[in-house]
C-alpha cells in the first residue's frame, strides 16, 4: 500500500476512534531516566492538531518541573526549527493551521516528542508527508532523542521507508507501551 493511501486510511481511523487520551508523564519519565535526560536539557514538543495524541499535559508538567520546553516553527522549503516556549505565552497560527510560538529564542532540543500518523514494530514512523520531522531529525540524528506519540490502534505491520525516513528511538501510546 502506498504511503498516501496508508496515510489517508490511518487518519480517517484516528478521527473515528479519537478519544481525548494523552501520554502519561510516568512513561516519559522512564525514558528520561534511561537516557539521562536532565532538567538542564530542552524538550521539543508539538501542539496537537488533527486528532493527534495530546502531549500538552506532559509539556505543562515538564515546564513546571523546570525543564525548558520548545515547539516547532515551520519554515519555507519544508524545514522547521524549534523555539523556546512557556505554556503561558501566546501562539500564532501558521499557514498549515498549526499553533506555533513567536520566534523568540531558537533552540536545539535534546529530546523531541514527535506526532505520528502510523508506526510499525521497527519504530518507523509515517507522518503527514512533508518530511519536516525527518529532515530535522536527520540533521541532528546523533544528538537528539526522538519519542513518537501515537494511539495504539495506529500501529501497522510494516511501513515502507526510503533513505530520507528517520526511525524513532521510542514510541509511546496511551497504553503506556513503548517500543
Q: What is the largest CA-CA distance in the chain?
A: 44
| Contact (CB, 8 A) for 60 and 88 | no
Cα separation, 136 vs 133, whole angstroms: 5
pTM of the model: 0.86
Cα separation, 129 vs 134, whole angstroms: 10
Architecture field, domain 3-172? 3-Layer(aba) Sandwich (3.40)
pLDDT digits (tens, 9 = 90+) for 34-93: 888 888 899 999 999 888 888 888 898 899 888 999 999 998 888 899 999 988 899 999
Is 65 buried (19+), middle (13-18) or exposed (0-12) by CB count in 10 A?
A: exposed
Amino acid at each position: 500500500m502506498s504511503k498516501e493511501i496508508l496515510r489517508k486510511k490511518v487518519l480517517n481511523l484516528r478521527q473515528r476512534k479519537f478519544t481525548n487520551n494523552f501520554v502519561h508523564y510516568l512513561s516519559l519519565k522512564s525514558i528520561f531516566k534511561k537516557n539521562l535526560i536532565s532538567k538542564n536539557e530542552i524538550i521539543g514538543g508539538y501542539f496537537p492538531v488533527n486528532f493527534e495524541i495530546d502531549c500538552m499535559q506532559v509539556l505543562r508538567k515538564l515546564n513546571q518541573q523546570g525543564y525548558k520546553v520548545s515547539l516547532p516553527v515551520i519554515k519555507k522549503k519544508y524545514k522547521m526549527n524549534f523555539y523556546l516556549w512557556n505554556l503561558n505565552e501566546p501562539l500564532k497560527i501558521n499557514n498549515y493551521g498549526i499553533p506555533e510560538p513567536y520566534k523568540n529564542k531558537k533552540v536545539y532540543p535534546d529530546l523531541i516528542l514527535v506526532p505520528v500518523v502510523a508506526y510499525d514494530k521497527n519504530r518507523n514512523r509515517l507522518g503527514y508527508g512533508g518530511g519536516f520531522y525527518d529532515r530535522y531529525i536527520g540533521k541532528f540524528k546523533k544528538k537528539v532523542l526522538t519519542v513518537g506519540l501515537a494511539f495504539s490502534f495506529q500501529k501497522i505491520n510494516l511501513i515502507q521507508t526510503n533513505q530520507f525516513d528517520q526511525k524513532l528511538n521510542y514510541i509511546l501510546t496511551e497504553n503506556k507501551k513503548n517500543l
